[in-house]
């Protein structure tokens, strides 16, 4: 049971490039989330999903897109990266069997130059 995993762990992009971050969970959780963490800001919710095929906007969704084609995977896309998207990105999941306690992946450190 690997829990929540994220790919890649580190990435450097140039302004305007695109990339996709992958989150996978093996706990059969219904709910998945993408957060970003900036210095001194805590974590802020970007997008979330309440089930396969569904997505919704969180607090800071601009510049990001998401997809949940399979229950175990939640993808975060940056179509045209900007320096303001330099951050650490965390994925989390939870499910009925957990109540609503969220479990987090190890994070992806993204730098946009």
Partner 1 sequence: GIQVEQSPPDLILQEGANSTLRCNFSDSVNNLQWFHQNPWGQLINLFYIPSGTKQNGRLSATTVATERYSLLYISSSQTTDSGVYFCAVERDNSGAGSYQLTFGKGTKLSVIP
Based on the shown chain and the rule CB under 8 A, indicate whether residue 14 belongs to the binding site for partner 1.
no
| Interface with partner 1, residue 62, by CB under 8 A | no
| Residue 45 binds to partner 1 (criterion: CB under 8 A) | yes
Asked if residues 98 and 67 have their Cβ atoms less than 8 Å apart, the reply is: no
For residue 2, give the DSSP letter: -
Among 6, 13, 31, 64, binds partner 1 (CB under 8 A): 31
Task: In whole angstroms, give the CA distance from residue 55 to residue 37.
Answer: 20
Compute and round to an integer the Cα radius of gyration of the chain. 13
CB of 40 to partner 1, least distance (A): 6
CB atoms within 10 A of CB 36: 23
Among 75, 78, 90, 112, binds partner 1 (CB under 8 A): 90
Q: Which of 87, 94, 110, 112 binds partner 1 (CB under 8 A)?
A: 94
- Does residue 33 touch partner 1 according to CB under 8 A? yes
Please check whether residue 93 is in contact with residue 103, taking contact to mean a CB–CB distance below 8 angstroms: yes
Report the 10 Å Cβ neighbour count for 90: 21
CB 48 within 8 A of CB 92: no
CB of 78 to partner 1, least distance (A): 20
Which residues sit at the interface with partner 1, rule CB under 8 A? 31, 33, 35, 40-45, 48, 50, 56, 58-59, 88, 90, 92, 94, 99-104, 106-107, 109
């Amino acid at each position: 049971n690997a829990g929540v995993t994220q790919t890649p762990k580190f990435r450097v992009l140039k302004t305007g490039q695109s990339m996709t971050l992958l989150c996978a969970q093996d706990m059969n959780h219904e709910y998945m989330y993408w957060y970003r963490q900036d210095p001194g800001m805590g974590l802020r919710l970007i997008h979330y999903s309440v089930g396969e095929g569904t997505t919704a906007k969180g607090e800071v969704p601009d510049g990001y897109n998401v997809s949940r084609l399979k229950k175990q995977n939640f993808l975060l896309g940056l179509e045209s990266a900007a320096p303001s998207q330099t951050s650490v990105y965390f994925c989390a999941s939870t499910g009925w069997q957990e109540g609503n306690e969220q479990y987090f992946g190890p994070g992806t450190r993204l730098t946009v130059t």
